[in-house]
Structure 1
Amino acid sequence: MSDGVRTVERVQTGVRLEKSLLKVLRGLAEYLDISLGDLLEGIALHALEGGSAFAGKPDLLKAIERLKLVYGMDYGAEAAHRLIDNGEDGK
């Protein structure tokens, strides 16, 4: 494919995410006018190559900071693998 477009098969997943993180991601997808799935795929693909989907984009990073404030996301990457469920949903 010369234009870089690929036809893929997507699957529905039941991924669980922290509530405020999900709100920020949904807000960011809306801000970028893309689907949440597209946003997550882009973030993952960049990360798998050792990069960041937002590197060198200060305006986008500012938008993310605003979304984090709006949705009460008061943590960053330092919390990775350190978030525990509060047990409300029994899972």
Structure 2
Amino acid sequence: MAVVRDVIVERVQTGIRIERRILKVLKATAELKDMSVGDLLEGIVLHAFEGKSAFTPETLRQIGEFRGIYGLTLRASDSHSLKEGNRRLPARKT
């Protein structure tokens, strides 16, 4: 059995903008794994940096369900062509 060791890191607070449905799927996945969205993102990125998948086949299946629930139809091939649409501002009361 592998020994798990604690790795001390310095975390910084950041404000990032992310597509709404992607965030919903990330939140659902983090909840499924009982972790924060930040911890989930760190894991995904560290795996991606090594060319590895961060998820088991079962987790990918569950993510597929979340994608359906939240209407996330974007694919990896869309990542270089995403453009932000006009934001709808709340109607002003007159």
Q: What is residue 79 of structure 1 aligned with on the other side?
A: 78
Q: CA RMSD in A?
A: 1.7
Structure 1 residue runs of 4 or more that deviate by more than 4 Å after TM superposition: none
Mark the CA change 1:3 to 1:33 in structure 2 (over 3 Å): closer, same or farther: closer
Q: Distance in 2 between matches of 1:87 and 1:80?
A: 19
Shift of 1:60: 0.6
The CA deviation string for residues 43-66 of structure 1, in whole angstroms up to 9 with x for no partner, is 000011111101xx2211110000
Question: What letter corresponds to residue 39 of structure 1 in structure 2?
Answer: L
Letter paired with 1:75:
L
Matched, 1:47 2:52: no
TM-score normalised over the length of structure 1: 0.87
Q: TM-score, normalised by structure 2?
A: 0.85
Distance across 1 between alignment mates of 2:51 and 2:58: 21
Matched, 1:15 2:16: yes
The count of aligned residue pairs is: 87
Unaligned runs of 5+ in 2: 90-94
Query: What stretches of structure 1 of length at least 5 have no aligned partner?
Result: none
Identity of aligned pairs, percent? 46
Partner letter of residue 10 of structure 1?
R
**Larger Rg belongs to:** 2
